[in-house]
Amino acid sequence: MASLESLTEDLLVRIYKGLASDGDRKSWRLVCRDFHRIDALTRSSLRVLRVEFLRSLLANYPRLDTLDLSVCPRIDDGAVAVLLMSQGSPWAFPRAAASSLSPPGRDPLAWTRGLRKLVLSRSTGLGHHGLEQVIRACAYLESVDVSHCCGFGDREAAALSCGARLREVKMDKCLGVTDVGLAKIAVGCGRLEKVSLKWCMEIGDLGVDLLCNKCVDLKFLDLSYLKVTNDSLQSIGSLAKLEVLALVGCSLIDDTGLQFLGGGCPLLRVIDMSRCNGISSCGLVSVAKGHEGLVQLNASYSLTECSSILLRRFKDLKNLNAIKIDGARVSDSAFKALSNCTSLVEIGLGKCIGATNLGLMRLVSGCVNLRVLDLTCCHSITDAAIFAISDSCRNLKCLKLESCNMITEKSLYYLGSFCLLLEELDLTDCGGINDTGLEYLSNCLELSCLKLALCPTISDKGLGHIASKCRKICEIDLYRCNGIGDDALAALSSGCKKLRRLNLSYCSDVTDRGMEYLGQLEELWDLEMRSLFNVTGVGLMALAAGCKRLADLDMKYCENVDDSGFWALAYYARNLRQINLSHCNISNMGLCMVMSNLTRLQEAKLVHLNKVTVEGFELALRTCWVRIKKVKLLAALRFKLSSDVRETLHSRGCKIRWD
């Protein structure tokens, strides 16, 4: 048998590239030094969780092309300055950072020369000085994401303009950026191909016009929720290479503006005009006429009625594979016209008035290649429609049936018999679903996401059928499923080892025994467990000890969990990034332990903690203010917390929501 020493470096690299999961790659690194070296030489992306190790990590992985600091707290101008120094300087970090300095003999700035993509989303502590430093240092940077840096303004936009090679900039919810800042980016970054400005509320027509004039190579543009008018659409019409355009919630544009689009942007393939209440079917006809290569069209909650002229125009779009007209009034004849679009693989009909069994039967008679179908709140459809869908669209992968109250277990029988490739099914608030239906559904072995919220007639038995056969399940929503208890969680823990998201809120029969079963789900990442009155500190301890990857925990109204559970949470759940402790029975000491020990925590909801005093809140916030990014507190505390705490949190970019 060959030894590891006989494997060449090329073979080791090929083996390493075949590892699919982060867990497998982590295990690989721990085998031996040679395996660790292969990991260092091969790894191209890095997501950093703790800033004190950032410098040594970058020195160990010199061939990175992507660096993600979006979940790394304490990224500020000082941290960037130290990071870009050629010699280590431990003054900016705690003593633990002594080990973070780069290893001897390695160039600590080698990573800057290969970096192509930098993610700084939610880096609220970073200012324009630090941003400019890192942009200038990474001379070959092509993509920057500063989305949700709400305090960013024109000075930060000017810093971004130093990246002359930038091809992609994402600035969603940078609330302080105006037309002036966008103009600086447009002038300095003439190679831009992708720009996202969603929720940048201070940007208007002037900035968009200059962007379109200077960045003529734009292929992707997102102006969602901006106060732009038809003038912006006229400017956008001049972009000869534009392929994707998002205008979600742009209420000031109308059909006149869409006519400008219809006469321009010859390569446009995807357009999203959802929630644009100023447009009509006539405007969409203009867009469709000028873009025969259109692939995706989203007009959800924009149209009051979907006209027959528009639907006939869709037939001429041979490449069209996705249409969303949620919220529009439709008729059976409209569905018949839509059935002629045989290339469609996705249709959104959520809350469409007039959707009937007959209409859906006509639709699927032609659209047999459907993969995604959204029928949310189509209250008139029954099992007959689901039979037609299941029989015609056998490659269906995603079906949304929320609040379709007239469907029964028969629908699940049809799905379990014909749609064996189904991966996602939403049955929220479908009161006719029962355990027998779930047994039928368990034949869909590819199922990965199942939403059963507000289904009062399902029980542990039904979920047991799902868990025994659907081993690929990674998300289940059981919100207010009163028949679900510990036995269901036992079945999930043994059959659904890949489960990552679970909602158990208001499942009042769940006890500490159920929490012990959940502790066996090592992949569990997101758990909602509101109002589980039968869970105590013992149950929370079992959960925290087993689910080491838990990152998002909502335990609002878990009033019987005492400090023993919270101490265990503080000790074991070191990966937690978001937590909701509102209305919990936690003390001053328990809160301080949680907020100080959970070093990756970035968002906390701390409302109505009756056992915590003002002094307890003060101390808890002081222990985490270097990393916390968002905290929700009772409004009465606004005038009780010291100005020192409030000002320090604000200066470090923490957003306080007063409830």
Task: Of 215, 217, 185, 216, give the one whose Cα is nearest residue 200.
Answer: 185
Residue range 550-659 forms a domain whose CATH class is alpha beta
3-state secondary structure of 194: strand
Give the C-alpha separation, 526 to 227, whole Å: 35
pLDDT in tens, 181-239: 999 999 999 999 999 999 999 999 999 999 999 999 999 999 999 999 999 999 999 99
User: Averaged over 427-441, what is the pLDDT?
Assistant: 97
- When mean pLDDT is compared across 53-62, 322-331, 567-576, 601-610, the lowest value belongs to 53-62
What's the pLDDT score for residue 93? 37
Torsion of CA 334, 338, 340, 342, to 10 degrees: -160
How sure is the predictor about 165, in pLDDT bands with cuts at 50, 70 and 90?
A: very high
What's the pLDDT score for residue 2? 53
3-state secondary structure of 263: coil
Residue 95 has pLDDT above 70, yes or no: no
Token couple for 379: 């209250």
Asked, colleague to colleague, whether 4-40 and 408-510 share their fold, the answer is no
What's the pLDDT score for residue 91? 33
Q: What is the DSSP string of 328-347?
A: -B--HHHHHHHTT-TT--EE
pLDDT in tens, 291-327: 989 999 999 999 999 888 888 888 888 899 999 999 9
How sure is the predictor about 87, in pLDDT bands with cuts at 50, 70 and 90?
A: very low
Three-state SS string across 586-610, please? CCHHHHHHHHHHCCCCCEEECCCCC
User: Averaged over 539-566, what is the pLDDT?
Assistant: 96
How sure is the predictor about 34, in pLDDT bands with cuts at 50, 70 and 90?
A: low
Superfamily of domain 304-403: Ribonuclease Inhibitor (3.80.10.10)
Fold observed for domain 4-40? Monooxygenase (1.20.1280)
Q: What is the DSSP string of 94-123?
A: -GGGGGGSPPTTS-TTHHHHH--EEE-TT-
How sure is the predictor about 119, in pLDDT bands with cuts at 50, 70 and 90?
A: very high
Q: Output 106 or 310, whichever has higher pLDDT.
A: 310
Domain boundaries, the chain: 4-40, 304-403, 408-510, 550-659
Residues 6+ apart with CB under 8 A from 18: none
How sure is the predictor about 611, in pLDDT bands with cuts at 50, 70 and 90?
A: very high
Specify whether the CB–CB gap between 146 and 174 falls below 8 A: yes
What's the pLDDT score for residue 610? 94
Residue 11 has pLDDT above 60, yes or no: yes
Residue 98 has pLDDT above 60, yes or no: no
What does CATH list as the number for 408-510? 3.80.10.10
pLDDT in tens, 464-481: 999 999 999 999 999 999
